[in-house]
DNA sequence: TACCTTTTCAACGGTATGCGAATTAAATAG
DNA sequence: CTATTTAATTCGCATACCGTTGAAAAGGTA
């Protein structure tokens, strides 16, 4: 357990103030004091220190004065966008998406590489990722030295603390120390995080969970992932490793274990199609879901029934997650949502059936079809969050 | 978010020291300093304050001096047993178990009432519980005024923060404010907690998880419960409510949803027996599982196959829990363990099959057949834990 | 234009915390 | 009886928070 000394105390309050400024846009000191319950004195001291460190900026121009415009006007404070730059990336089987953001999480540049990388040797993947990061940084008009942290979000079971990838559909090998590898290549601190965790944080910072302290997110991509927000923090399992929803067991059929991934994995849904012609080509290029959507509209019965089965399986899995975590909101993201109504309807129905009566109405299902940028932005947010906490603890006293 | 002031700092370090003393028996100040990473100065100040408050005691007698017996001898410190008294209770469908413990969690008296209370009106249950608490307190040679807190552990979905019982097999009604009811009756602060959470804490304090910071416990009783220890703390879902494992869905059969409770609930396993004769009588009296054990030994095939099916279902459920929490140890408790080898073997097999390959070997299954006292002692531990944190924050500065 | 009101924010003193160095305390070795 | 060793306390310092006070900035009013 960490020992509580003045330094920790300071760090906590600093983070609290900084986070308040981040979340509530340009904000005055008085309002910070109200929100954080800290005295105006303390807020003044902390903001002075933050200003001194260049993390925040005063805003004079465009002071939208309130109606009751008496007295000394408030000085609005906001994050200094230039305080840091980070790179966030979404690494998927058939595409790489990079984003450079400033300290506020605003996108400075983005780069999408629609290339298939899964099952490539690690060296090749690392090459491609390195290249993408460098390009995207140049696109933003920066050099890598100006980037503070890189965060790579990828599917699978990731051990966040150590940066080890326990298993991922992208890598042939297991237990890859990808964080060290990329840190060495880029000569920039690089962290590795589950893509589901990344977009969970994205929704908490910018998306559909800004108002919540607790929340669950289900990502339906090639891999089925889970992100849990508990008390404004990412809940990482024991040992800090991420969850792989696809490994959940839904039942014991005649021929053994039935896992969620075998019912609702992207390749399993699409795989039942005759692997020929335009559709197979689309799958190879990672456009499988978009194409599937078209086929469903054209009433392709094989695919529709696969989508329905997948929806049922996911709905039941979500009900089980809700049974365990009782979150007020469940956000669903990922390419499988593109399957459309047949999938979503059966998901909703199965969920309604499977959720225990005592928890009926507790959780609200929200579907979200964000673009890939958003995932990458989430990875950037993970990087920023790490920055918030660590390096400025060492700044020393405010004066 | 709580504001970090010196008071909080103090509370954290105080709790840390107190917890260290609790866990590591009689312990000297130097060793506390080593374990907590606090300076000897701070430890001295805090222990002085704790001594002043009467929460701990110095131990002079029987100073087992180490071999290397040079220098001033260490003064060992330990919890003052008399610093507080609490009552813990396990409330089950067919029995009430009460325990009075001292500040260390040691049992002073216990009382078991083998009576069937489920489906009684709330008033009747409250009467019986009140009576049991009072009796047990008298047995310990105390009066209720000397008891600081009462904690009742019972099955179902409990909202710990508010003391509301959302649903329980014991109550006909839902959403019962049992904590307020009993607080008023006993005129002593009474808290309500899930029985699974209680025994989870019991194992962390006294049992098979003393060495762990993360752990999962599965309780197999009339109701199937779950307790999660995360970072030395009970993990309570959003809103602080407990989990009901029985609501987990294991599959969609031909006639709809199949929940775990329908496969592995106590009444479901035993219910398939012809409800007549000695066995039915045993069930009514809450000895069902013991009797079932005998029948299984006598190779009652109906019962054996029910036990095997239940074992499979539980094994799969545990695998899913492990997929989500990745704990180093899973402890199984509860009356259903008495079903013996057929049940346990099929559980182990199903678990081995269902646990994802990437997590194989991560979690160790441990079976525990503690007596009912232990559950009640866990409830007492919950009460003690609340005491640790709250009331002595107000003690003021140490001097 | 000069003065007053209102509000923000920085400066000062008070009290709490924890830490490091020096000091006292208690026991053994010679 | 003295020297040595280890434990625990005391003292002084740095930091953090908070409440109060007073200066600064803007608008309103005579």
Q: Report if CB B44 to strand D is under 7 Å.
A: yes
Q: What is the pLDDT of residue B236?
A: 87
Judge whether B120 and B93 are in contact, CB under 8 Å: no
| CATH topology for the A211-367 domain | Nucleotidyltransferase; domain 5 (3.30.420)
Tokens at B342, concatenated: 């057929």
Task: Using the predicted structure, report yes or no on whether residue A283 has a pLDDT greater than 70.
Answer: no
Count Cα atoms within 13 angstroms, Cβ side, for A305: 4
The position carrying tokens 């590795």 is: A192
The position carrying tokens 């997929």 is: B323
Question: Which bases of chain D are contacted by protein, using any atom under 7 A from a CB?
Answer: 4-12, 14-20, 24-28
Distance, CA of A46 to C1' of D14, in Å: 17
User: CB distance B13–A3 less than 8 Å?
Assistant: yes
Q: Report if CB A49 to strand C is under 7 Å.
A: no
What number does CATH give the domain B84-201+375-388?
A: 3.30.420.40
Query: CATH topology of B6-82 equal to that of B84-201+375-388?
Result: no
Of A64-78, A164-178, A297-311, A314-328, which has the strongest mean pLDDT? A314-328
Distance, CA of A141 to C1' of D9, in Å: 61
How many CB atoms neighbour CB B71 within 10 A?
Answer: 6
Q: Which B residues between 166 and 195 have a beta carbon under 7 A from any strand D atom?
A: none
Q: What is the pLDDT of residue B394?
A: 38
Least confident of A30-39, A189-198, A387-396: A387-396
Nearest-CA neighbor of A332 among A364, A362, A367?
A367
Please name every residue paired with A365 in a beta bridge, in sequence order, or none if there are none.
Answer: A330
Alpha carbon distance A246, A269 (integer Å): 13
Q: Tens digit of pLDDT for each residue in A223-234?
A: 899 999 998 989
How do the domains of chain B map onto residue ranges? 6-82, 84-201+375-388, 210-367
Q: What is the pLDDT of residue B392?
A: 42
Distance, CA of A70 to C1' of D26, in Å: 7
Q: What is the pLDDT of residue A175?
A: 87
In percent, the amount of chain A with pLDDT more than 70 equals: 85
The position carrying tokens 């969690």 is: B105
Q: What's the mean pLDDT in A73-92?
A: 92
Alpha carbon distance B328, B330 (integer Å): 7
What is the DSSP code string of A155-169?
SSEEETTTTEEEE-T
Task: Using the predicted structure, report yes or no on whether residue A186 has a pLDDT greater than 50.
Answer: yes
Residues of chain B with pLDDT under 50: 391-399
Task: Using the predicted structure, report yes or no on whether residue A396 has a pLDDT greater than 50.
Answer: no
Query: A276: pLDDT confidence band, cut at 50, 70 and 90?
Result: low
What number does CATH give the domain B210-367?
A: 3.30.420.40
Query: A365: pLDDT confidence band, cut at 50, 70 and 90?
Result: very high
Q: Where are the alpha helices (DSSP H) in B37-167?
A: 40-53, 122-139
Chain B residue numbers touching A388 (CB-CB < 8 A): none
In percent, the amount of chain A with pLDDT more than 90 equals: 51
Cα of A396 to nearest chain B Cα, Å: 17
**Residue B327 main-chain phi, psi, to 5 deg:** -80, 155
Listed as own residue / partner, the contacts of A107-110 with beta carbons closer than 8 Å and 24 or more positions apart are: A107/A373, A107/A377, A108/A140, A108/A141, A108/A142, A109/A136, A109/A137, A109/A139, A109/A140, A109/A141, A110/A136, A110/A139, A110/A373, A110/A376
Q: Nearest nucleotide (C1') to the CA of residue B68?
A: C28
B12–A contact, CB cutoff 8 A: yes
Q: What is the pLDDT of residue A398?
A: 31
B352–A contact, CB cutoff 8 A: no
Cβ-proximal residues to A228 (8 Å cutoff; 6+ apart), any chain:
A200, A215, A216, A217, A234, A235, A243, A325, A327
Alpha carbon distance B237, B135 (integer Å): 34
Alpha carbon distance B243, B234 (integer Å): 12
Q: Report if CB A398 to strand C is under 7 Å.
A: no
Q: Which DSSP state fits A352?
A: H
* CATH architecture for segment(s) A6-82: Orthogonal Bundle (1.10)
Q: How far apart are the first and last CA of chain A?
A: 30
Of B8, B213, B358, the CB nearest to A157: B358
Q: What's the mean pLDDT in A14-31?
A: 89
C-alpha dihedral, A67 to A68 to A72 to A74, nearest 10°? -50
Q: Tens digit of pLDDT for each residue in A40-61?
A: 899 999 999 888 888 998 876 5
How deeply is B47 buried, as exposed, middle or buried, from its count of CB atoms within 10 A (0-12, 13-18, 19+)? buried
Q: What's the mean pLDDT in A64-91?
A: 81
The position carrying tokens 């969920």 is: A351
Q: How far apart are the first and last CA of chain B?
A: 30
Query: A390: pLDDT confidence band, cut at 50, 70 and 90?
Result: low
Q: What is the pLDDT of residue B397?
A: 33
Of A321, A325, A358, the CB nearest to B167: A358
Tokens at B34, concatenated: 């080593």
Chain B residue numbers touching A243 (CB-CB < 8 A): 323-324, 326
Q: What is the pLDDT of residue A397?
A: 31
B377–A contact, CB cutoff 8 A: no
Query: A271: pLDDT confidence band, cut at 50, 70 and 90?
Result: low
Give the containing element (helix H, strand E) for A216. Answer: strand A215-220
Task: Using the predicted structure, report yes or no on whether residue A282 has a pLDDT greater than 70.
Answer: no
Query: A119: pLDDT confidence band, cut at 50, 70 and 90?
Result: confident
**Residue B29 main-chain phi, psi, to 5 deg:** -60, -40
């Amino acid at each position: 357990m960490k020992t509580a000394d003045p330094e920790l105390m300071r760090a906590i309050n600093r983070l609290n103030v900084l986070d308040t400024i981040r979340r509530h846009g340009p904000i005055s000191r008085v309002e910070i004091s109200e929100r954080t319950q800290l005295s105006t004195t303390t807020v003044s001291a902390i903001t002075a220190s933050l200003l001194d460190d260049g993390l925040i900026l005063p805003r004079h121009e465009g002071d939208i004065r309130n109606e009751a415009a008496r007295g000394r006007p408030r000085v609005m404070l906001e994050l200094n966008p230039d305080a840091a730059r980070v790179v966030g990336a979404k690494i998927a089987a058939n595409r790489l998406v990079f984003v450079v953001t400033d300290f506020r999480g605003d996108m400075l540049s983005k780069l999408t590489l629609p290339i298939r990388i899964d099952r490539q040797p690690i060296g090749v993947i690392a090459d491609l990722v390195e290249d993408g990061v460098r390009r995207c940084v140049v696109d933003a008009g920066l050099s890598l030295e100006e980037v503070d942290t890189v965060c790579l979000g990828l599917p699978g079971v990731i051990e966040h603390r150590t940066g080890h990838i326990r298993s991922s559909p992208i890598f042939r090998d297991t237990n890859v120390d990808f964080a060290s590898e990329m840190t060495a290549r880029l000569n920039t601190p690089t962290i590795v995080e589950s893509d589901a965790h990344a977009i969970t944080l994205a929704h908490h910072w910018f998306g559909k969970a800004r108002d919540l302290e607790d929340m669950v997110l289900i990502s339906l991509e090639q891999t089925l992932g889970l992100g849990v927000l508990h008390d404004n923090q990412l809940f990482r399992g024991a040992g800090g490793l991420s969850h792989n929803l696809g490994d959940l067991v839904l039942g014991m059929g005649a021929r053994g274990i039935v896992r969620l991934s075998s019912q609702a994995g992207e390749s399993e849904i699409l795989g039942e199609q005759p692997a020929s012609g335009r559709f197979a080509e689309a799958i190879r290029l990672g456009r499988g879901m978009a194409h599937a959507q078209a086929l469903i509209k054209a009433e392709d019965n094989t695919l529709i029934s696969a989508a329905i089965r997948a929806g049922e399986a996911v709905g039941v899995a979500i009900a089980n997650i809700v049974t365990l975590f009782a979150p007020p909101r469940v956000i669903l993201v990922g390419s499988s949502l593109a399957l459309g109504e047949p999938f979503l309807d059966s998901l909703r129905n199965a969920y309604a059936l499977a959720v225990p009566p005592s928890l009926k109405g507790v959780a609200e299902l929200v579907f979200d079809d964000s673009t890939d940028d958003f995932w990458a932005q989430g990875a950037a947010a993970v990087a920023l969050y790490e920055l918030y906490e660590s390096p400025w603890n060492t700044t020393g006293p405010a004066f």
